Amino acid sequence: MGALDPEVAPRARGGAAGMAGAGAGAGARGGAAAGVEARARDPPPAHRAHPRHPRPAAQPSARRMDGGSGGLGSGDNAPTTEALFVALGAGVTALSHPLLYVKLLIQVGHEPMPPTVGTNVLGRKVLYLPSFFTYAKYIVQVDGKIGLFRGLSPRLMSNALSTVTRGSMKKVFPPDEIEQVSNKDDMKTSLRKVVKETSYEMMMQCVSRMLAHPLHVISMRCMVQFVGREAKYSGVLSSIGKIFKEEGFLGFFVGLIPHLLGDVVFLWGCNLLAHFINAYLVDDSFSQALAIRSYTKFVMGIAVSMLTYPFLLVGDLMAVNNCGLQAGLPPYSPVFKSWIHCWKYLSMQGQLFRGSSLLFRRVSSGSSFALE
């Protein structure tokens, strides 16, 4: 968590597909609106040109994503549209927060409930750790229902800052020269367009990630206080003061590098894989070729987000490591010298995908739990 993260973009990393679709849809709406305006400006019937010499059709606007004429978020509607996106993002973030909260506690290795005995598909007895729903019930028993939303405030602020940053960057660096990939393009031209579009997305994602990361760190630390029942990080402003006093300016950016690497690998992997699949594997003669191409990037987003999950895990663990909280100190976690040290440790323990599943969680072979 992510992608998609933020986590809304991120970390719903499947959001790369939605961004591409939204850009194309905005372009189509911009063209349609431009056509309506052109017809409205035509002279009255008495002064129309002769039917044998019709007027040339109005060309659609070249602007797509930067709020051009008739596009989404254009003109006076831009602040309203941006506020709408922030509000929608806040709603999704709030609804998904308990899921992220439980996931983070599993990532740091907090397992307060014993596993239960079950059977696998082969009928063998295996140990299963509590699922998301069982874990969430346990949190409610300890902290009440409001406890499921611990650390929500800084996370809302982080996602809102990320959304505003991306919108501002589109205004400062409008993607006027980014062309949409067309079926009429040859392979070299279409690949050039995909590279240019992905580079632009990467720039926006990296900048928004860096600006919002300090709030992400605060949110992570507020949540893992559940492990040791601490109250060190209670508010955004007081948390900023504590981090700056104890760790300096760099303390706000612990875990940033693996998050950035994960974002970059995700964007390039998702866009290039979708491009090559659409170009080489989907035949134009197939009747459902267009429908398949429209879902390719979405499916690739899910697959690539699973492969880049270790970057998310390492980044979150580094954000809470050695910060004075029990969840970031032994025995829950060694004190890591760097994110590479953390990666190697998790790899040796076979825990690089810890927390990636929240429903069917089998006890790993290296765990201290054992069947009687």
Tell me the pTM.
Answer: 0.75
Q: Which amino acid is at 278?
A: N
Q: Convert 350-359 to b/e letters by CB count within 10 Å (16 or more is b).
A: ebbebbbebe
Q: Convert 46-85 to b/e letters by CB count within 10 Å (16 or more is b).
A: eeeeeeeeeeeeeebbebbbbbbebbbbbeeebeeebeeb
> What does the pLDDT read at residue 215?
97
List pLDDT tens digits, range 292-328: 888 888 899 999 999 999 999 999 999 999 999 999 9
Residue 18 pLDDT exceeds 50: no
List pLDDT tens digits, range 90-130: 999 999 999 999 999 999 999 999 888 888 778 888 888 99
Q: Which two tokens stand for residue 281?
A: 């594997």
List pLDDT tens digits, range 39-80: 444 444 444 444 444 444 333 333 333 333 334 444 456 678
List pLDDT tens digits, range 340-355: 999 999 999 999 999 9
Residue spans of alpha helices (H) in 132-151: 132-143
Residue 38 pLDDT exceeds 90: no
> What does the pLDDT read at residue 181?
58
DSSP letters of 205-273? Answer: HHHHHHHHHHHHHHHHHHHHHHHHT--S--SHHHHHHHHHHHH-GGGGGTTHHHHHHHHHHHHHHHHHH
**What order do you get walking across the sheet with 116-119 strand by strand?**
116-119, 125-129, 361-362
Q: Using 50, 70 and 90 to split pLDDT, how confident is the model at 11?
A: very low
* C-alpha closest to that of 233 among 323, 305, 352, 102: 323
> What does the pLDDT read at residue 127?
87
> What does the pLDDT read at residue 70?
39
For residues 130 and 186, the model is more confident at: 130
Q: Which CATH class name applies to 81-118+127-349?
A: mainly alpha
Q: DSSP class of residue 49?
A: P
